[in-house]
Amino acid sequence: MSASQLSPARVKRPEFSPKRRKISKWFFSLVMLGVIGVVFLAPFMWVISSGFKSQEDIFAGLVPFSWTAFLPLNPTLDNFIELFVEKGVGRSLLNSFAVATIEVVGALAVCSLAAYALTRMDWKGRGAVFGLILVTFMLPVEAMFVPLYRVISGMGLDDNLWGVALPGVASVFGLFLLKQAFEDIPRELDEAARIDGAGHFRIFFSIIIPNVKTALATLVLVKFLFSWNMFLWPLVALQSPQLKLIQVAVAHEVDPNSLPNWGLTFAGAAVAVVPVLLVFLLLQRHFVKGLATTGLK
Whole-angstrom distance, CA of residue 170 vs CA of residue 108 = 10
Instruction: Give the pLDDT confidence score for residue 296 in this predicted structure.
Output: 42
Q: What pLDDT does 214 receive?
A: 85
- Provide long-range contacts, Cβ within 8 A and 24+ apart, for 116-120: 116/182, 116/200, 116/204, 116/208, 118/175, 118/179, 118/182, 119/179, 119/182, 119/183, 120/182, 120/187, 120/190, 120/200, 120/203, 120/204, 120/208
pLDDT for res 294: 39
pTM of the complete model: 0.80
Helices 89-120, 126-137: inter-axial angle, 10-degree rounding: 150
* Cα–Cα distance, 4 to 92 (Å, whole number): 82
Q: What is the pLDDT of residue 257?
A: 61
Asked if 51 and 270 touch (Cβ cutoff 8 Å), the reply is yes
Angle among Cα 18, 24, 25 to the nearest 5 degrees reads 90
Sequence-distant (6+) residues with CB within 8 A of 67 are: 61
Residue from 5, 66, 54 nearest 263 by CA? 54
Average pLDDT per block of 10 residues along the chain, 297 residues long: 50 60 79 83 83 82 74 84 86 93 94 91 85 85 86 89 91 89 87 85 88 87 90 89 88 69 85 86 70 45
**Other C-beta atoms lying within 10 Å of the C-beta of residue 64:** 5
In the chain the domains, ranked by start, together with CATH numbers, are 15-76 (no CATH), 88-292 (1.10.3720.10)
pLDDT at 289: 62
